[in-house]
Each structure stands twice: as C-alpha cells, then as structure tokens.
Amino acid sequence: MSDTLTPVLTANWGTDKSWTLKAYRAAGGYAAVGKALKQTPAEVTGIVKDSGLRGRGGAGFPTGMKWSFVPQDNPNPKYLVVNADESEPGTCKDIPLLLASPHTLIEGMIISAYAINCHTAFVYIRGEVLHVHRRMQQAVAEAYAAGLLGADILGSGYDLDIIVHAGAGAYICGEETALLDSLEGMRGQPRLRPPFPAVAGLYASPTVINNVESIASVPAIINNGAAWFAGMGTEKSNGMTIYSLSGHVARPGQIEAPMGITLRQLLELTGGVREGHKLKFWTPGGSSTPILTAEHLDVPLDYEGMAGAGTMLGTKALQIFDETTSVVRTTLRWNEFYKHESCGKCTPCREGTWWLVQLLRDFEAGRAVEGDIEKLLDMCDNIGGRSFCALADGAVACVTSAVRYFRSEFEAGYTTPAWELFPYERSALFPVRTKQLVTSGEGADA
C-alpha cells in the first residue's frame, strides 16, 4: 500500500533552477535513457505495457498498446508528437510540469521515440504560454549540447531530433488529429478516423500522439520498473498521477497521488472548500467531463470509478464550485467557450454550440419558457456523437449533467435571472462593484 501522496513527476518542481539540465541530472535525471537504450525497442514497449500506464490527456488509452499499434513494416518514417496544447478548461498540470522540469519530458520523449523507432519528435505547445516555450527551447538546446539529442545518443547509435512547435490559439488543436493538421501548417480541424494516427498520422506516416504527463511518466517507469508503477493506484488504473485542484477551495494546486484517491481525501488534505462555504458541484477532469456533486465525494478518482459515476476521469482537473455558484451561469460560460472553439468543420457542432449558447443565455436571464429544458436536452441529443471529434460531446456533457443534478435551477430560469438567485459577487474572491454583476461572456471572435 503506497503513501497517500506519491510525488514522482512533481518531486523536483521546487528545487533550485529545477528546469536546467544540471539540476535535473543532480536529481538522477537521464539515468533512464541509458537504461532504455541498452534494451530493444520492443522490450521498452513491453515494460510500459506491463506498467499499465494509461493516457493522462483525457481518454485513458493504454500507452504501451498505442505504441504497439505502430506498423513497423511501414516504410515511412515514424513520428512521436507530444500534445502540450493544454487548453481543456480546468486543466493546469502540464504547464507547471514543463515550466519546472522540461527535461522530464525530453527524457520521456527519447525513450518513447526509441520504443517506436522514431527519429523525429515534436512537442506541440499551445502558443499562449510564453515562458513554457522559453524553458522548453532552452532544455532542448541543452540536451543537444550534452549529446542527449541528435546523432548517436550516448554512443548508442540511436538518433533523435526534437522540434519545439508553437500553436497559435485554438483549443481544438488539443484533439489529436486536429493537432496533426495544425502541425502540417493547416487550419486545425479534426480528421475522420480510421485511419488512426498510428497508421496514417503526421505526413500520412505512422504517428504516436501522447499527452505530456503520459510521456513524462515513462522515465520513472524505466528507472523503477513496471511492477513499481503498477503497485500504485487501483486494479485497472495504475500508477501515480497529477490531480489539479482549483476553484472555491482553501488551497488550490497540483497534487500527485496514486490513482483512485477520492475528492474527499484531497479536500481533507488541503483544507477543504473555502471557509464558510460548502461544495455544490465539481468536474472530475475538465469541463468536458460531466459534473458531479457532493454525493460523489467518495468515488475513487480513477478511470473506472468515474465511468461508474457516469462521467470520465479526463485530465483530473478538479474544478470546485461552492453553493454561491449558479450552475446555469457556469454551464453557459463553458458553452460559450465551446461555441468559440468549435472549428466549424461539422455542422452539428458548429451550429449546435451556437444554439446551445442562445438557449442557455435565456435561462441565465430568466427569460426561458416552459418546455425549454426539454428543448435543451433534445438539442443535446442531436449534437452529441454526430461530429468527427469529441468537442461537441464535451459541450453537451456539461449541459446534460447540469440538468440531471440541478434541474430546478433551470426551471427557475423560466422566471428568474440566475444573478438574482445566485448574486454573482458572492462567488468572486474579491469585492465586486454592482454594475459588474450581469456581464455575460461574448465569446466573439477576436
């Protein structure tokens, strides 16, 4: 039985100049590369498979299995693309990792690229995080200078180049096939699957796309063994992971724990909901994962636990909202986000998110009419599952789950504005002037 918290990825975040090669090496960094390069790619893949590591970016697909789908008899080059387009509302774990310890990712990339016989790897970082680019660019340069990247890494005969790439403001590029189109210099719009990226990804070549945290977990697995990793967490959700606590809590932040810890435990450790308030609703893994309530405080935060509660573990972005918060307002604001970020390729999403926002604005303003809840749910039925990617599914998920748990608040939207039921200034962390109570997000294009 492991300890309540198990810092591995976060262990070096507070050390002096933790982002430098020197500090990373002083903490034992790059030992795993040497170890991995002495084994065959298939052996490395086998270790990651045995560890039970599953994707930390939201979908939870087994990482080692993803790697094994790359057809090695395909004559095209193989590519590794790290998805650092962290943009899912509530999600904030990869950015601090890259700021504090970019070498953890680089080490993971070297090992992962080696495992799939890849010689060119990319990190696709969202554009809006300037300092992350600086740290990552410098870390890659340091790694080249130290012979950890480039030709004949550590005398092993293995070559790898890493390209640090900046996005330009598009949530959809966190979707793996949209990310690939974006990386090819196109508008970032999802592709129809199959073919899956493992077969025809970047430049129509076999491509593995993994989240930052997934790849960053690989060095520790190689160093400590598959059984070590699998020894943490629950039966089918192995290992440690980073939970991101935010919102109306006493102490928000990043907490690395074995899979399966509960929100109650995390809140107890961190001082709970902000003083004088109580939990109303929360997301387990970003705004695209159906919301939960206080009745779910003891459900294990792992893939199976969350699926059992009718939601998803997602990115483990625990956004906490207290009793002052209007669920209608929050749902509207999330949908304004999805409307703005819909890439426009698929009609149900492009038009549907627009209509959801219109209707939700009526609910917020207290001018919805009898039957609009049914209309809202009917629209959700016609939007979800009808597009190339899951963006619209996320938009729908927050609506349907909000109605499921807080239907009466939507009914109140037939008569009363949300800001009267839940005066918005009570949710803010600082005193707010009255005129500011009724601002609604425009979500208009820049």
Partner 1 sequence: MSGHEFQSWFPASGTIDMSDTATNIDETTLAELRQLVARYPQPRSALLPMLHLVQSVDGRISPAGIEACAQILGITTAQVSGVATFYTMYRRRPGGKHHIGVCTTALCAVMGGDAQLDDVSDKLGIEVNETTPDGRFSLERVECNAACDFAPVMTVNWEFMDNMTPEKAEQLLDDLAEDREVTSTRGARITSWREAERVLAGFPDGRADEGPSAGEASLLGTSIAAANGWTAPAPEEAK
Residues numbered 249 to 268 that lie near partner 1 (CB under 8 A) are 251-257
The answer to whether residue 372 forms part of the interface with partner 1 (CB under 8 A) is: yes
Q: How far is the CB of 372 from partner 1 (least distance, A)?
A: 6
Q: Which of residues 348-367 bind partner 1 (CB under 8 A)?
A: 358-359, 362
Q: How far is the CB of 359 from partner 1 (least distance, A)?
A: 6
The number of residues that bind partner 1 (CB under 8 A) is: 124
Q: How far is the CB of 308 from partner 1 (least distance, A)?
A: 25
Q: Which of residues 217-246 bind partner 1 (CB under 8 A)?
A: 220, 223-225, 227-228, 231-232, 240, 242-246
Burial environment of residue 192 by CB neighbours within 10 A (0 to 12, 13 to 18, 19 or more): exposed
Q: Which of residues 312-351 bind partner 1 (CB under 8 A)?
A: 317, 319, 321, 325, 329-330, 333-334, 337, 340-341, 343
Distance CA 398, CA 311 (A): 10
Distance CA 103, CA 99 (A): 10
Using alpha carbons, list the distances in angstroms from residue 418 to 90, 92, 327, 368, 414. Answer: 22, 28, 9, 11, 10
Residues in the chain: 446
Q: Which of residues 92-131 bind partner 1 (CB under 8 A)?
A: 92, 94-96, 99-101, 120, 126-131
Q: Which of residues 131-170 bind partner 1 (CB under 8 A)?
A: 131, 133-135, 137-138, 141, 163-170
Cβ distance to partner 1 smaller for residue 307 or 369: 369
Cβ distance to partner 1 smaller for residue 42 or 227: 227
Q: From the CB of residue 154, how many other CB atoms can be counted at a distance below 10 Å?
A: 15
Distance separating the N- and C-terminal Cα atoms of the chain: 51
Q: Which of residues 15-44 bind partner 1 (CB under 8 A)?
A: 15-20
Position 338, amino acid:
Y
**Ordered alpha helix ranges (H), 94-248:** 94-100, 102-115, 130-145, 176-183, 212-216, 218-224, 226-230
Strands 317-322 and 240-247: parallel
Cβ distance to partner 1 smaller for residue 64 or 90: 90
Q: How far is the CB of 336 from partner 1 (least distance, A)?
A: 8
- Residue whose C-alpha is closest to residue 188's, from 172, 203, 201, 176: 172
The answer to whether residue 287 forms part of the interface with partner 1 (CB under 8 A) is: yes
Token match 């037939």: residue?
414
Cβ distance to partner 1 smaller for residue 250 or 307: 250
CA dihedral 347, 349, 354, 355 (to 10 degrees): 90
Q: How far is the CB of 334 from partner 1 (least distance, A)?
A: 5
Task: Give the containing element (helix H, strand E) for 162.
Answer: strand 161-166
Cβ distance to partner 1 smaller for residue 73 or 445: 445
Q: How far is the CB of 4 from partner 1 (least distance, A)?
A: 6
Q: Which of residues 167-186 bind partner 1 (CB under 8 A)?
A: 167-171, 182-186
Q: How far is the CB of 147 from partner 1 (least distance, A)?
A: 20
Q: How far is the CB of 41 from partner 1 (least distance, A)?
A: 18
Cβ distance to partner 1 smaller for residue 308 or 378: 378
Q: How far is the CB of 429 from partner 1 (least distance, A)?
A: 5
Using alpha carbons, list the distances in angstroms from residue 118 to 72, 115, 139. Answer: 10, 8, 20
Q: How far is the CB of 135 from partner 1 (least distance, A)?
A: 5
Strand partners, 273: 249
Q: Which of residues 59-98 bind partner 1 (CB under 8 A)?
A: 77, 86-92, 94-96
Cβ distance to partner 1 smaller for residue 308 or 400: 400
Burial environment of residue 119 by CB neighbours within 10 A (0 to 12, 13 to 18, 19 or more): middle
The string of DSSP letters for 93-115 reads SHHHHHHH-HHHHHHHHHHHHHH
Phi, psi of 247 (to 5 degrees): 100, -145
Q: How far is the CB of 434 from partner 1 (least distance, A)?
A: 10
Q: Which of residues 392-431 bind partner 1 (CB under 8 A)?
A: 424-425, 427-431
Output DSSP code: residue 203. G
